[in-house]
Structure 1
Amino acid sequence: MPNQRDQAADDSPADLPCLEKLDSPTGSPPTASLSSLMEVQNCVSNLSLAHEIVVNRDFRFNPRSPPTDSLEGRVTEIVHQAFWDSLQEELNSDPPNYSHAVVLLQEVKTMLQSLLLPGHIRLRSQLDEVLDMDLIRQEVDHGALDLHRLSGYIVNSMASLCAPVRDPEVRALRDLRHPVELLREIFRVLGLMKIDMVNFTIQSLRPHLLQQAVQYERTKFQQILDQHPASLDFTSAWLEAAASEEALAARAQSDSPDSRGPVSPAAVLNRAYMRLLHWDPQDQKYPKTALMDRARLDALGQQLKMLVLEASVLLLTSTQCGGSIFSLQGFVGKLRHAIAALLEGSHTRETDLRAALLGIGDVVLQQVTEAVRGQGGVALPQGSQDLLRGQISELWKHNHPVRTLIGERVQGFLQAMLQGGPAKRSPELPASLRLVSAELAELGMAFGRIVHFNRTVFGPFYAPILRKLLFPPGEAETPEDSR
C-alpha cells in the first residue's frame, strides 16, 4: 500500500500531519432531512463506541439496573414481580399451565446458545437434545414435563460456561428448589454471563480493533462532515488560536521582536492540545475532532491543576522550612496525602479552593511543627509561620508567582513529552516537580496517548487548516523536520 504521507510530501511541510489531501470545508450546513439526521446520529454513536473501546483500556459494559428508589426502578420491580406472580399462578393451577414456562425455556436455550463458542460442538449438540422444544411441548401435552430435571441441566450448563467470577452465583442456583425463584435467578445470572461474554470479546478483539480504528474513525468522521460541512469550524478556530499563540511565543524568544520566522505545524498542534487541558467549561466551541475525548481531557486538566497547586505548596513549604524536614522518613508522603485530601473537589469553584488552601496552610504548619519537635528542633518563628500560611492561602490567584512558575514548568514538561512522541522516554523533571514526578509522568503518558491517537486519526483534517493558517497563498512553504 503506498505511503500517503510520501504522496503529499511534494508540496507540504514535512511536519504537517498530512496523510492525504483534503480541502477544508466551508459554509453553513444544508437543511438536513430526518433520514440524514438519523444517519449522522448513527455515525456518531458507532464512532463514539468504537473510540471508547480502543482508547479506554478499562472499557466494559456493566449491568444496567435503575435505582430502587427511582420511579423507573419501582415500575420495573412492579412489572417484573407481576410477571413472576402470574407464572406462579399458572404452575399452581390444576392441572399446571406450562405455556409461559415453555416460552421461558426457549429463551434460556437461546441465551445459552449465544454463550457457546465455535469449539463447543458437543455442548451445542447436548443443548439441542435436552432442550428440544418440540419434545418439551409433547411432554407438556402428556403431563410429563420434568421442570426440575431441565433446570438442573441448565444450571450445569451455566457452570461449564460461566467465568470464574460467576461461580458463586451459579452454585447458589443449586440450592433453589422453588421453580419460579429458580427460573428468575437463572435469567438474572444468564444476563450477567452475557455481559461477561461481551466484555471478554471486546478484550480479545482490542488488538485487532487498534489496527482498524484509525481508518474506521476517519471514515466515520468524513461521513459526518459530508452531511454537515461546518463540523470543522470549531476545529479551525481552535487551531487558529493556537497558531497565534505559537507565533507570539516564537517572536518573544527571537532576538528581533519583528521577525516572522516559520512556525512549525507540529508546535501549533502541540500547543492546541495543551489548550484543551485548560479549556473554559463555559466555552461551547470545543473542537469536534477532540469531542470524544473531552471528558478524559477535562479530567486530566483537573488533575493537572491539583498537581500544580500541590507542587506549589510543597515548594513554598520547602523554601520556608528547609530541606532537612523534607528528608525525614514519611514526612513528604504524609504531607502530600493531607494536601491532596483537602484539595479534592475544590477545582470547580474559587470559593472552595480558597477555603481548601486556608485549611492546607494550617495542616502544613501543624505537620511541620510536629516534625521539628520530633527531631528536638525549634519551631518556626511566628513571623515565618504567618508568612507561609499567607503564601499558601494566596495560591488561589492564577497569577501567583509560585503557581505561575510551577504551571510553566509543568506545561514545558508535557510539551516536551508530546515532542518526544510515544516511543521516547519522559524528559527530565526540574527539581521543583520531582516530589510529584510519578503522578506527573502518569498524567503525561495518558495525555500523550490521547494526543497521539487523535493526531493519527484526524491528521488529514488538520493538514489543510494548518496549511492555510501558516502558509497563506503567495508565501513560500519552508519544510521543517517534525519534532
Structure 2
Amino acid sequence: MPNKNTGDAVDDPHTDVPPLEQLDSPTGSPPSVSNMMDLENCVANLSLAHEIVMNADFSVKHQSPPKHSLEERVTEIMHRAFWDSLHEQLTSETPNYSHAMILLQEVKTMLQSLLLPGHVRLRSQLDEVLDIALIRQEADHGSLDIHKLAHYIIGIMGSMCAPIRDPEIKALRVLTDPVELLREIFRVLGLMKMDMVNFTVQTLRPHLLQQAVQYEQAKFQQILEKQPSSLDCTTAWLQKAAQEMAPVVRPLSQPGMETWHGHSCGPVSPTAVLRRAYLHLLHWDPHDQKYPETVLMDRARLDTLGQRLTMLVLEASILLLTCTQCGGVVFSINGLVGKLKQTITALLEGSHTREADLREELMGLGDKVVVQVTEAMVSHGQIPMPQDSQDLLKGQISDLWKHNNPIRSLIGDRVQGYLQAMLEGSFTKRSPELPDTLRVLSAELVELGTAFGQIAHFNQTVFGPFYAPILRRLLFSPPEAETAEDSR
C-alpha cells in the first residue's frame, strides 16, 4: 500500500478528473438517451485513463459539496441527525441497536472490499466474528458488547492499513464513547478505501502506459462515431496554423529559394503545421471556447505551462534590461541573479492574467530591481548606476506590460524557437542549446520544454491518425492528397 495521504473517501472514481468538454449534438435529430449515456461513458473512461497516464501523481480524491452551499447544509443536517439518533438509541434505558446494525453491516462490507484474494483465512474470520445475524441475536438478549466488536474491527484495520494511517488507528484505540467510536471507524475506513483505490491505480499504471495509445485511439473513435462533429474545433485549430505557414510554401525545385527562420522555403509539411498548432496552445485566449477536442484532456496542463511561459519571458526580459544597463556587472555578483529571479517571480505571480495588474506590478518591480542592484553593487565595491540609468531601467521594465514591447517580443521569439526545437526532436534527447540571453533561466526552460514536449509527443502519437486526413485536405490538392493517402 502506498504511504501517501490521499484525502477523504469518495465513491466516484472519476472525481477530480478534468473531463472533455461536452460536445454539441450533430446536425439532425437529437441523439437518444442511450447514445448520450454511451457517449458520456466513453468520454469519462477516456479522460480517466488519460489522466492516469499523464499525471504520475494522480490520485482519487473526495469531492466535498461547495462551501456554504445548500448541498453542504443538507448533508451536514442529515449526518448530524443520524448520529444524534444513534446516540439516543444506545444511551436509552433499553438500548436500540437498529442503527448500529446498519453501521456494522456497512463496516463489514467495507472491510471485505479491502481484502485481497489471498486473505482467505482473514475473510473467514471476518465472517465469523461479524456475523450480523448472531450480533442481532446478542442485541436482542442484551448481551451485545459494542466495544469488543469495535476493538476487533480496529485490530483488523490496523493489520490492513497503509503506514500513513497508523496515527488514525492509534487514535481509535483510546475512544470510549460508542457513537464517536463507530463514527471514527467509518471515517478511517473511508480513508483506507481511498488508499486501496489509489494503490490499485498506481499498480495498474505501468500496464496502462503500455496500452494507452491504442486505448485512447479506440475510445476517441467511439466518440467520433457517436458525435461526428467531434473534430470541428480541431480542424479549425489546424487550419489556422496551416494558413499562417502558407507564405512559406514554395516548390522545392524552384531556384533561388528564400529562407524563413533559417530554413529553406518549400512545401509545408504536416508535421510542421502540427508543431505550430501545438505552440498556439501555449498562447490560447481563455475566452475562446473553440479549443481543439483532441487536446481538451490536457488543457489544464497546457494553460499552466502557458502561464509559466509568460512569466519566464517577462523574467528574462527584465534580467536582460538590467544586464544591459549595468554593463554585465549583475551576472558577475554572486547570488544577485538568483535574488532578482525570486523577487520578480514573487511580485509578478498571477499578475500576468490582466494587463492592468501587470502594468501596476511592473512599475513597482522596477523600483525594487534598482534597489537590489544598487545595494549589491555598493557592497561589492562597484560604482552604482547613474540616476538617469536607474530611471531609464525603471521605465523600460514598466513598459514590458505591452505585448508588442521590442524586448518582450525578442525574448518571446527566442523562447518560441527553443520550444519549437524541443518539438522537432524527441523529448528524451538532450535539450537544444539555449541563447545566451536565456541561459540564466535554463533550468526553468528545460523543465517547461520537457513537459510541453511530453504532452505534444503523446498527443501526436494518439491522435496522429485523426490529424492526418485533416492535414492532407488542408495542405494538398485533391490529386496530391490521394497520392499522400496511397503512400501511407
TM superposition score normalised by structure 1 = 0.89
Alpha-carbon deviations, 1:271-313, whole Å to 9, x = none?
1100111111122211111111111111111110110010000
* Partner residue in 1 for 2:175: 176
Alpha carbons 1:215, 1:457 under 8 Å: kept? yes
Partner deviation per Cα, 1:26-59 (whole Å, 9 max, x = no partner) = x846532222222212221221112111111121
Name the structure 1 match of 2:335.
Answer: 330
Matching of residue 461 in structure 1 with residue 466 in structure 2: yes
CA contact (8 A) 1:30 1:228 kept: no
1:380-434 CA distance string (max 9 Å, x none): 1111111111111111111111111111111111111111112311101111111
Displacement, 1:137? 2.0
On the 8 A contact 2:313/2:415 being kept in 1, the answer is: yes
Q: Distance in 1 between matches of 2:82 and 2:480?
A: 75
Say whether residues 1:145 and 2:180 are aligned partners: no
SS of the residue corresponding to residue 360 of structure 2 reads helix
Change (3 A) 1:262 1:250: closer
Residue 439 (structure 2) aligns with: 434
Deviates more, 1:299-308 or 1:379-388: 379-388
Aligned to 1:451: 456
2:373 to 359, 368, 374: 368
Q: Which residue of 1 aligns with 2:476?
A: 471
**2:58 and 2:131 mapped to 1: Cα distance?**
38
* Counterpart in the other structure of 2:197: 198
Distance in 1 between residues matched to 2:422 and 2:227, nearest whole Å: 35
Change (3 A) 1:256 1:92: closer
User: How do residues 58-207 of structure 1 correspond to structure 2 at under 5 angstroms?
Assistant: 58-66=57-65, 69-207=68-206
| In the alignment, structure 1 residue 349 sits paired with structure 2 residue 354 | yes
Per-residue deviation, 1:70: 4.0
CA contact (8 A) 2:314 2:408 kept: yes
- Output the CA distance in 2 between the equivalents of 1:476 and 1:179: 75
Contact 1:395–1:403, Cα closer than 8 Å, also in 2: yes
In the TM superposition, what is the alpha-carbon distance from 1:69 to its structure 2 partner?
4.2
| Aligned 8 A contact 2:473 2:481 in 1 | no
Mapping of 1:222-237 within 5 angstroms? 222-237=221-236
Q: CA deviation at 1:250?
A: 5.7
Say which SS state the counterpart of residue 87 (structure 1) adopts: helix
The answer on 1:211 being equivalent to 2:214 is: no
| Partner Cα distance (1:441, 1:408) in 2 | 16
Find the aligned partners of 1:60 and 1:409 in 2 and give their Cα distance: 37
How do 1:233-382 and structure 2 match up within 5 A?
A: 233-249=232-248, 254-255=257-258, 261-382=266-387
Contact 1:28 1:229 in 2 (8 A): no
How far the C-alpha of 1:478 sits from its partner, in A, is 8.6
Query: Which blocks of at least 5 consecutive residues in structure 1 are unaligned?
Result: 1-26
| Alpha-carbon offset, residue 139 of structure 1 | 1.6
Q: Distance in 1 between matches of 2:121 and 2:431?
A: 53
**Cα separation, 2, equivalents of 1:456 and 1:29:** 33
CA distance in 2, matches of 1:423, 1:219: 26
Letter in 2 for 1:172: A
Q: Secondary structure at the match of 1:97?
A: coil
Distance 1:250 1:270 in 2: 16
Q: Is the 8 A contact 1:354 1:396 kept in 2?
A: yes
Unaligned regions of 5+ residues in structure 2, if any? 1-25, 251-255
> Secondary structure, in 3 states, of the residue corresponding to 1:119?
coil
Q: Tell me by how many angstroms 1:454 deviates.
A: 0.8
State the Cα distance separating 1:99 from its structure 2 match: 1.8
1:388 and 2:387 correspond? no
SS in 2 for 1:261: coil
Aligned partners of 2:437 and 2:69: how far apart in 1?
50
Residue in structure 2 matched with residue 21 of structure 1 by the alignment: none
Q: 1:256 & 1:271 partners in 2: Cα distance?
A: 18
Give per-residue Cα distances to partners, 1:46-93, cap 9 Å, x unaligned.
Answer: 211121111111211223334664433332222111101111111122
Q: Secondary structure at the match of 1:78?
A: helix
Equivalent residue of 1:95, what SS?
coil
Q: Contact between 2:213 and 2:462, CA under 8 Å: does it hold in 1?
A: yes
Aligned residues of 1:29 and 1:230 also touching (Cα < 8 A): no
Give the CA RMSD over aligned residues. Answer: 2.0
Structure 1 CA distance, aligned partners of 2:315 and 2:206?
37
Structure-1 separation of matches of 2:128 and 2:362:
70
Match in the other structure for 1:402: 407
**1:33 corresponding residue in structure 2:** 32
Rounded Cα–Cα distance in structure 2 between residues aligned with 1:281 and 1:90: 55
Shift in alpha-carbon separation, 1:84–1:450, aligned structure 2, 3 A: same
Do the aligned partners of residues 227 and 327 (structure 1) sit closer, same or farther apart at CA in structure 2, a change above 3 Å counting?
same
User: Tell me, what secondary structure is at the counterpart of 1:347?
Assistant: helix
* Identity across the alignment (%): 69
* Amino acid across the alignment from 2:230: S
Query: What is the rounded CA distance, in whole Å, between the counterparts of 1:282 and 1:100 in structure 2?
Result: 51
Q: CA deviation at 1:378?
A: 2.0
Give the whole-Å Cα distance in 1 for the aligned partners of 2:67 and 2:287.
Answer: 34
Given the superposition, is the C-alpha separation of residues 32 and 63 from structure 1 closer, same or farther in structure 2, using an over 3 Å criterion?
Answer: closer
- In the superposition, relative to structure 1, how do residues 29 and 210 fare at CA in structure 2: closer, same or farther (>3 Å)? farther
Q: Secondary structure at the match of 2:86?
A: helix
1:347 maps to a residue whose letter is: H
Q: Distance in 2 between matches of 1:29 and 1:163?
A: 53
The one-letter code sitting in structure 1 at the alignment partner of 2:316 is A
Residues 63 and 192, structure 1, Cα contact 8 Å, conserved in 2: no
Question: Contact (CA 8 Å) 1:29, 1:227: kept in 2 or not?
Answer: no
1:110 aligned partner, one-letter code: T
